[in-house]
Structure 1
Amino acid sequence: MSGKPIAIAVAGAACCALAALPVRAEEGGEPPAEEAAPVFDLGGALRVNFYNKSWEARQKRRSISQNLRLDTAMIDASFVSGRWDGSAQYRFYYYSDGDRLSHFPHHAWVGYRLDERQKLQAGIQKVPFGLLPFASNNFFFSLAFYAGLEDDYDLGFRYSRDMGPWTFDAAWFPMDEGSWSGDSEDSARYSYDIVTDGTRDNDERHQVNLRLARSFALANGVTGEAGASFQYGLVPNGITGRNGHRNAQALHASFDYGPWNLKTEAIRYAFDLENPAGQDDRYVVMGAFDFPYRVAARGAIYVAGLAYAWDTAEETGGLLKSVTFYNDYSYLDKAEDSYSGSQQNVLGAGLDFEGPLYVTLDWALGRNNAYIGPEFTRALASGGTGGGWSSRVNLNVALYF
């Protein structure tokens, strides 16, 4: 990919800064005192999946060992030194079905606090759009993730300002995070972006993001945050030499009441492409994890998730610290009338154990869903085969060190 050298240079600069300034990062914390001694933190994680897919069970009988897979291996580094901080993570994915290995950075950024309320950040970093840090609770995220609108990471610059109950973010991303090591043409990356694949030669450039949110506390004990997000960027086509455009807007709110949490979000998005004559503009090719697929070029995404956090430390003697039960639902309503809508519902629980262990157990239902159903390439565009519901039971065991 043409922008990969830039991504490598910026990510490399961030990693060099991490190595040179040893400090521990606490995301969202107060800036440390200027005289505080730098401390460097190096860690990582290993995650394993055990799953059962309803559509595979119908096609062939699989052994237990065939359903046990390495999910991710990752290496982390972070620091805080006075007004400076930074974080980097590199991930490895191995797909045993195709005997293929893909690896790429999750993020790599360096930040500088102008004062206690303002911060600048540069590198491969999370895009400030929608509910943060996530619009979901489960292992699969929501359908917004698969359209590049949840937990998205790009290469650029971000300005954040804390204004009492208000928070404001403005960001410019000259390019996406780039494609790294894998078998695909342009999809070896963590988060979903427009990619080049075969005869389609589109890309992401010069994305601008604005996000404004306000925290609140109601008299009945309900607290939370509500806000709005805006995104605009270019979609240059390497064949026609013309720039297409893309935009997205979101309204989002999160509510907390005791151990309960409710997440809500509504997103409208559109990709206006400048493809060569004869190419179908009703869908765009997006890719991540070394696999590309089609996504409807225009649509709306609706997200709702309810969670209950149970503090179990006293009852288990600290072995199991907490259990979070949740149900996350999302719906992709496609503007093209001939396209079938996509749905996802995940009922599950996250178990946080004392020490390095975190376990997620999910029962996911999908309809016209690329990752929860038999049709991968067309599911999020025209739809799947037959449009019926599929299910996947997924157990993810993560060890952090």
Structure 2
Amino acid sequence: MLPVIAPVLAPVVLAATAPTTIPACTDPATCPAPSAEAAASADPAPASKPDAPAQVPAAEVPVKAKLNIGAALRGRFDLRFNDVGSAGQRRTSNHLSFDTLALTADYDSEKFFGAAQYRFYGASFIYGKNGGYEGYPGEVQFLMYAYAGAKLSKEDSVTVGIQPVPFDDRYWGSSILDDLGFVYGMEEVYNLGIKYKRQTSDLRVELGFFPGSGPAVMGISRDAARYSTNIARADSYVPNGSQNDERKMVIGNVQYALINQPNTTLKATASAWVSSIYNFDTNDEGSKHLFAFSLTGSHGPWSAKALVARQDIDPRNAGRNDMITMGGFDGSYNVAAKGTYAFGEIGRTIDTGKFPFDLLVYANYGKFMKDAAGFKDSERFDLGAVWTAKDKGRIKVYSEFLLGRNDPFVGAGQFISGAAQGGDDKWKAAFMMIFGYYF
């Protein structure tokens, strides 16, 4: 295993950050493992996450009005140890490909702020002709977020638009893929609504109302050409796929600093998410209840997080009610409707001296334990490193070694059903490197 793990922790060649993508694949055995990459946050989040928009900036001093226009160009290298060939044979595959072009705008002033990002995908091995794509840049595209806000006071703000929902911190770990929480539509979700936030040195309170999900824009899927994972209408290739839409979401969290020292922090966060689930087949309204508690801490160069979440969805489907279809990055798949998720990560920044890149190394593990009888739990272990150019941070490289079991994003044959009843219940391995340049 040393030849695999060594490149994760060694300086990698160029720069970085890109999201993997989920193609509309018709063959469960050959669906590429998708990935999701983060866009940034002003909420407490791992230092590795890029693209930070002006998310409710602190108004401690007067801020001169400023508009920043930017772009990011990203590529990726994938080494997949459990891929499947055209004849169904097991094989190891490698791919070097373009990932995305992202256009970003951020505005900030003494009273108002806002941000938007739009992304273009296509012309990569993920969106290949075997998945039904023509293979040109921009074939898949979507608005990631677009919001505006007002600073009501030094501590209080209101934000309106397509924005990250306030369920725990926006990012739970350091991985460019996020973690299994993203697969289940818990982590880094962007929806349309209004949010109130109060932030002091020790306390954060956020509460939002979101009438619906962010819009699907351009792709070949039925309802999944969007960044974040949302409850969606299933594509025809999804067996037992459901036709649902999440509405009337009330989402909030309270975070309190148990320790808030210059060199040591410990924060506790309790979150809740309650919504209605509309079914297009039955015209019935089901429900979703999601709760989480986490501890996030740091001490010197060390950081850590532990989280547990409980999901209970009643989809009121015409067919099975123990699973529901979700979608993102232009692909849809099933997830278990009820279960408990546990996640933990530990990370450390390393002093690289005169070397031109800063370094963060981390390891995390997540497991979704499903309630339904016969459903196989989903798991992921991630060992990674992030290299960030010290000169303005314009170059960034992520390298990750992934082990997944019944994980839609790791290993062939797991995409459509891995997060629901499970795939083949075997561990799959992959190595990934994401690199990009930020203008």
Give TM class, smaller chain.
0.7 to 0.9
Q: Pick one of 213, 236, 239 that aligns with 1:176.
A: 213
| Among 204, 224, 227, the residue aligned to 2:246 | 204
1:272 aligns with 2:314: yes
Name which of structure 1's ranges 297-306 and 137-146 shifts more when overlaid on structure 2: 137-146
Q: Equivalents in 2 of 1:395, 1:323: separation in Å?
A: 15
What amino acid sits opposite 2:303 in the alignment?
Answer: N
Q: Distance in 2 between matches of 1:184 and 1:213?
A: 37
What CA deviation, in whole Å up to 9, does each residue of 1:200-237 have, x standing for no partner? 32101010012000113278963121110000000011
Task: Find the partner of 1:71 among 99, 115, 129.
Answer: 99
Query: Which residue in the other structure is 1:93 paired with?
Result: 121
Task: Specify every segment of 5 or more residues in structure 1 that has no aligned partner in the other structure, as ranges.
Answer: 1-23
Asked whether the 8 Å contact 1:307–1:325 carries over to 2, the reply is: yes
* Matching residue's letter, 1:359: V
Q: Which runs of 5+ in 2 are unaligned?
A: 1-51
- Tell me the SS of whatever aligns to 2:182: helix
Q: After superposition, what is the alpha-carbon deviation per residue over 1:283-309, rounded to whole angstroms, capped at 9, x for unaligned?
A: 000000000000000011100000001
Is 2:153 the counterpart of 1:115?
Answer: yes
Shift of 1:73: 1.3
How far residue 82 of structure 1 moved from its aligned partner, in angstroms, is 2.4
Matched residue SS, 2:100: strand
Q: Deviations over 1:134-185 (max 9, x none)?
A: 1111122111111110011100000001244111000000000021111000
Alignment of 1:27-46 (within 5 A): 27=55, 29-31=57-59, 37-46=64-73
Residues 240 and 228 (structure 1 numbering): CA distance in 2 closer, same or farther, change over 3 Å?
A: same
SS of 1:182's equivalent?
coil
Query: Alpha-carbon deviation of 1:33?
Result: 5.9
Q: CA deviation at 1:96?
A: 4.0
Quick one: which amino acid aligns to residue 380 of structure 1?
Answer: A
Alignment check: 8 A CA contact 2:385 2:399 kept: yes
Pairing 1:379–2:405 present: no
Change (3 A) 1:343 1:171: same
Cα RMSD between the aligned structures?
A: 2.1
Which of 215, 231, 236 aligns to 2:273? It is 231
Superposed displacement of residue 37, structure 1? 4.5
The equivalent of 2:438 in structure 1 is 400
**Which AA in structure 1 matches 2:251?**
N
Q: Select 2:255's aligned residue among 199, 210, 213.
A: 213
Specify the alignment match of 1:335 in structure 2: 371
TM-score when normalising by structure 1? 0.87
Equivalent residues in 2 for 1:136-175, closer than 5 Å = 136-175=173-212
Equivalent runs, 1:320-331 vs 2, <5 Å? 320=357, 322-331=358-367
Distance 1:168 1:102 in 2: 36
State which of 213, 229, 234 in structure 2 corresponds to 1:192: 229
Give me the whole-angstrom Cα distance separating, in 1, the residues matched to 2:199 and 2:226: 31
Distance in 2, matches of 1:121 and 1:218, equals 27
Partner of residue 249, structure 1 = 291
Deviation at 1:61, TM superposition (A): 5.9
Q: Comparing both chains, which one has the higher relative contact order based on Cα–Cα distances under 8 Å and sequence gaps of 6 or more?
A: 2
Whichever residue aligns with residue 97 of structure 1, its letter is G
The CA deviation string for residues 77-108 of structure 1, in whole angstroms up to 9 with x for no partner, is: 01112210000001122144233521101110
Identity %: 27
Cα distance, 1:219–1:289 mapped onto 2, change above 3 Å: closer
Q: CA contact under 8 A between 1:332 and 1:342: conserved in structure 2?
A: yes
In the alignment, the residues of structure 2 paired with residue 328 and residue 260 of structure 1 have an alpha-carbon distance, to the nearest angstrom, of 14
1:391 matched to 2:422? The reply is no
CA gap 1:86/1:246 in 2 versus in 1, 3 angstroms: same
Contact kept in structure 1, 2:55 and 2:115, CA below 8 Å: no
Kept after mapping to 2: 8 A contact 1:90/1:106? yes
Q: 1:50 aligns with which of 77, 83, 86?
A: 77
Query: Contact 2:79–2:93 at 8 Å: present in 1 too?
Result: no
Per the alignment, do residues 315 and 374 of structure 1 end up closer, same or farther by CA in structure 2, a change over 3 Å counting? same
